[in-house]
Amino acid sequence: MCTADSLLHQVGKKATEAGKRFQETATVATRQMQESAKNANISSPLPDTNAAEDLKKAAHLLSGFVDKEENEAGFDNIIPPEILRKARGLAIYTVVKAGFIVSARGGSGVVVVRNQDNQWSAPSFIATGGVGFGALAGADITDIVLVLMTDEAVETTFVQGGSVTLGGGLSVSAGPVGVGGEVGMSANTQTTSTSSIYSYTKSKGLFAGVSFEGTVLLERKEANAAFYRRAISAAEILRTMPQPPEALELYTVIEKGLSREL
């Protein structure tokens, strides 16, 4: 007969073993998935040592969600131009998820928002992370575009600085899709006009689906300071800084999505 102490010891031992297996899986899988991501036309989840390269990655990532030719080739997760026209901000990033029993996810990217003059802001660099639980084993890399549909979503997630956790009061729903702006629904997610954030994703790996519940978005203060050459808050970047020339490719991709013919 097992005593309470021995049962607790067994549970702790299993948890420790699971944690070790998770760390081993995450290390190996992350390296393998980074290599395969390039071949699968998916961005690396790790921030570049040169922040300007992160802007190029963001432009390349976003092009996969606004390029009509990719949609006609079979990738139907295209952001309709009407959604982009109504958008108050865009968070563009790549996440790697790996684990066994306990899964962890993390990644990096950029955010831009519309200013009062309706122009796109300078980019602020972001990181993301989260954990999950369940009978999972493996890894994947996912390109993600979050379309912020309200000024409140912009203020809550990025302008106020620090960090924010998605889910709960800050709803995230699968976004409408379609080459001609037709609204589509995912099989298991209801999308409504009241959603404050729409999500668009493209994955390569073993996990099915993307969960935003409990995902934390963080301001990368060091990256922002390195790029803008001084200590600077996300709020100042998004509200007052001029568009840097290094982000021209990103702005060009956004305009391509906005002007795409229906």
The most distant pair of C-alpha atoms in the chain lies apart, rounded to whole Å, by 72
pLDDT of residue 104: 66
Domain residue spans in the chain? 9-259
pLDDT of residue 20: 47
State how far Cα 115 lies from the chain centre.
Answer: 21
Residue of 115, 116, 132 whose CA lies nearest to 124:
115
Check if the beta carbon of residue 82 is closer than 8 Å to that of residue 181.
Answer: yes
Check if the beta carbon of residue 77 is closer than 8 Å to that of residue 5.
Answer: no
Task: Decide: pTM greater than 0.75.
Answer: no
pLDDT of residue 192: 41
pLDDT of residue 238: 94
The burial of 31, by beta-carbon neighbours within 10 Å (0-12 exposed, 13-18 middle, 19 or more buried), is given as exposed
Residue where the block lists tokens 């796109």: 120
Instruction: Give the chain's length.
Output: 262
The burial of 113, by beta-carbon neighbours within 10 Å (0-12 exposed, 13-18 middle, 19 or more buried), is given as buried
pLDDT of residue 42: 53
- Residues pairing with 176 in the sheet: none
Question: What is the distance in angstroms between the CA of the first residue and the CA of the last residue of the chain?
Answer: 70
- Give the strand pairing for 172-174 and 163-165: unpaired
Which stretches of the chain drop beneath a pLDDT of 70?
1-49, 68-76, 98-104, 130-139, 161-164, 167-170, 178-194, 205-214, 261-262
d(CA 78, CA 75): 7
d(CA 89, CA 168): 20
pLDDT of residue 62: 95
